[in-house]
Amino acid sequence: MNSLRGRMIFLLLTVLVIGGSIASAALYLRMSDELGFIFDSRLQAMGNSLVPQHLSRDVLSANLEDEDDILIQAWDKTGRLTFSSSRDDRAPMPKHPGLTTLYTSDGNWRSYARAVQGGYLQVAQDLSSREEMAAATSARLLLPLLALLPLLAALIAWTVSRQLSPLRSLVKQLKDIDGHTPTRIRLEDTPLELTPVVLALNEMLSRQAEASANQRAFLADAAHELRTPLSVVSLQAQYAQRAQNPDARQEALTSLGAGVDRATRLVQQLLDLARSDARTPTDQTHSEIDFKALVKTVIAELYPMALEKHMDMGLNEAPDCSVRGEYQGLHSLVVNVIDNAIRYTPPGGRVDISLHAVNAHVEFVVSDTGPGIDHELRPKVLKRFFRGDTNNTNGTGLGLAIASRVAESSGGFLTLEDGDNNRGLKVWVRLPSAAPSHRPGE
């Protein structure tokens, strides 16, 4: 199991063991140095206090009863051993007076020699006894620390669990979130390392709550908007059934067809809006699209509506331009902007459509001679289901909202301005160009 708590405890215990081992080695070396200094001082003191003429094995045996690791030897000027305090042990003859370490195949000795009558008076100690004493002393000092290891391990485990309690609190708060109401995770007592995580979660929860609220509002508004055209369709169907003469029936069927068309358009716009909500500027389905050809296609699709109202509608001379985006979304954008202009422009009016390539962008502009939109209402008409002209029952309040959403998801934006000569409305859409930008003169 990939446990953060287990990894932290393991790492801390590993550090503790490694640190303890290093401390033990340092303590042993330090103890060896300290004992070596003490033993060297003792060898010097003993060597300086001895008188060669008074050397006697029996006397030395009595004096060295507790010093069985000490060996005393005397050498004459010819290098012959003239005296040894031990019958079994032999240390090599020193080469010079003072302290030195002598190495032999049988063992190593620490020796202090004093020049006497052309020879040497030597006091030596087996180094193995020093090492044993240093190890024993170090062990006595380390045993209490080793005994504390289980207690330290338990203390580390408790401390880690205690320090991870903010994570458990965060998990509990996340479990208590229902996903519908705006909720924020409390920042009180949050460790500094967790603060960016909590802030990111709060931002995500805010977006989720906003999306959930928008979804609920969308469903409520859609149900409300669909209720009216469907009710009208139902009433017109009933009227057609009850009509007594062909003219009345034909009139009812015509009204029924108009109601069905309006309901169909509303449903299509609802689908377009749902699709646009799912799109993002980094959508991987974006591709290069011939935007001029797309605009011409939409004009051809909607031209019968303009012709029916005896309107003058056309595309100004435009350069070839391409954009990056999702074809269905951009088609919906162009349809809704031009359709909105046709619907709100009175018969005999004018709708001018133009395209411009500006640096790394493509500008799509639709200007009409309709009633326009008051400045204070323009931000509102870009929201869903808002209609500036409540007397126009053909509008759904979704066209400009869909276009604005698609423009944003394609990396561009949509703005509303006064039409030409301060008459009507001008919808101005700016989209990123798919072609590389060029500096003037290139």
pLDDT tens-digit readout, 36-48: 888 889 888 888 8
Candidate from 50-64, 369-383, 405-419 with smallest mean pLDDT = 50-64
Q: Rg for the chain (alpha carbons), in Å? A: 49
Q: What is the mean pLDDT of residues 137-153?
A: 78
pLDDT band for position 385 (50/70/90)? low
Q: Is residue 222 a contact partner of residue 269, using CB atoms and an 8 Å limit?
A: no
Within-domain flag for 439: no
Residues 6+ apart with CB under 8 A from 148: none
Assess whether 421 and 310 both reside in one domain: yes
pLDDT band for position 57 (50/70/90)? low
Assess whether 313 and 262 both reside in one domain: no
**Which one has a higher pLDDT value, 425 or 47?**
425
Q: CA nearest 306: which of 350, 264, 254?
A: 350
Assess whether 188 and 142 both reside in one domain: no
- Residue 179 structural domain: 175-278
Residue-level pLDDT at 431:
92
Within-domain flag for 163: no
Residue 236 has pLDDT above 50, yes or no: yes
Q: Which of 278, 297, 332 is the last residue of a domain?
A: 278
Q: How many domains does the chain contain in total?
A: 3
Residue-level pLDDT at 439:
41
Q: Which two tokens stand for residue 421?
A: 């000569």
The mean pLDDT value of the chain amounts to 78
Assess whether 272 and 359 both reside in one domain: no
pLDDT band for position 224 (50/70/90)? low
d(Cα 232, Cα 243) in Å, to the nearest integer?
Answer: 16
Assess whether 311 and 412 both reside in one domain: yes
Residue-level pLDDT at 210:
72
Candidate from 59-68, 77-86, 165-174, 425-434 with smallest mean pLDDT = 59-68
d(Cα 119, Cα 110) in Å, to the nearest integer?
Answer: 18
Assess whether 133 and 72 both reside in one domain: yes
Beta bridge partners of 354: 365
Residue 367 has pLDDT above 90, yes or no: yes
CATH code of 22's domain: 3.30.450
Q: Which two tokens stand for residue 272?
A: 């377009």
Assess whether 186 and 150 both reside in one domain: no
Within-domain flag for 166: no
Residue-level pLDDT at 429:
93
pTM of the model: 0.49
CATH code of 423's domain: 3.30.565.10
Residue 374 has pLDDT above 80, yes or no: yes
User: How many CB atoms sit inside 10 A of residue 308's CB?
Assistant: 10
Within-domain flag for 165: no
SS3 annotation, the chain? CCCHHHHHHHHHHHHHHHHHHHHHHHHHHHHHHHHHHHHHHHHHHHHHHCCHHHCCHHHHHHHCCCCCCEEEEEECCCCCEEEECCCCCCCCCCCCCEEEEEECCCCEEEEEEEEECCEEEEEEEEHHHHHHHHHHHHHHHHHHHHHHHHHHHHHHHHHHHHHCHHHHHHHHHHHHCCCCCCCCCCCCCCCCCCHHHHHHHHHHHHHHHHHHHHHHHHHHHHHHHHHHHHHHHHHHHHHHHHCCCHHHHHHHHHHHHHHHHHHHHHHHHHHHHHHHHHCCCCCCCCEEEEHHHHHHHHHHHHHHHHHHCCCEEEECCCCCCEEEECHHHHHHHHHHHHHHHHHHCCCCCEEEEEEEEECCEEEEEEEECCCCCCHHHHHHHCCCCCCCCCCCCCCCCCHHHHHHHHHHHCCCEEEEEECHHHCCEEEEEEEEECCCCCCCCC
Within-domain flag for 164: no
Within-domain flag for 169: no
Residue-level pLDDT at 177:
73
Q: What is the mean pLDDT of residues 210-219?
A: 69
Assess whether 261 and 287 both reside in one domain: no
pLDDT band for position 393 (50/70/90)? very low
Largest CA distance in the chain: 158
Assess whether 226 and 135 both reside in one domain: no
Residue 53 has pLDDT above 70, yes or no: no
Candidate from 308-312, 381-385, 401-405, 429-433 with smallest mean pLDDT = 381-385
Q: Is residue 359 a contact partner of residue 437, using CB atoms and an 8 Å limit?
A: yes
Q: What is the mean pLDDT of residues 45-52?
A: 80
Candidate from 144-153, 210-219, 316-325 with smallest mean pLDDT = 210-219
Candidate from 85-94, 173-182, 234-243, 291-300 with smallest mean pLDDT = 173-182
Residue 390 has pLDDT above 60, yes or no: no
Residue 284 has pLDDT above 50, yes or no: no
Assess whether 231 and 295 both reside in one domain: no
Q: Which of 278, 302, 327 is the last residue of a domain?
A: 278
Residue 218 has pLDDT above 70, yes or no: no
d(Cα 58, Cα 376) in Å, to the nearest integer?
Answer: 122
**Which one has a higher pLDDT value, 164 or 435?**
164
Within-domain flag for 254: yes
Within-domain flag for 242: yes
Residue-level pLDDT at 422:
83
Assess whether 145 and 28 both reside in one domain: yes
Assess whether 421 and 401 both reside in one domain: yes
Residues 4-20 have pLDDT tens digits of 777 888 888 888 888 87
Candidate from 105-114, 266-275, 287-296 with smallest mean pLDDT = 266-275
CATH code of 202's domain: 1.10.287
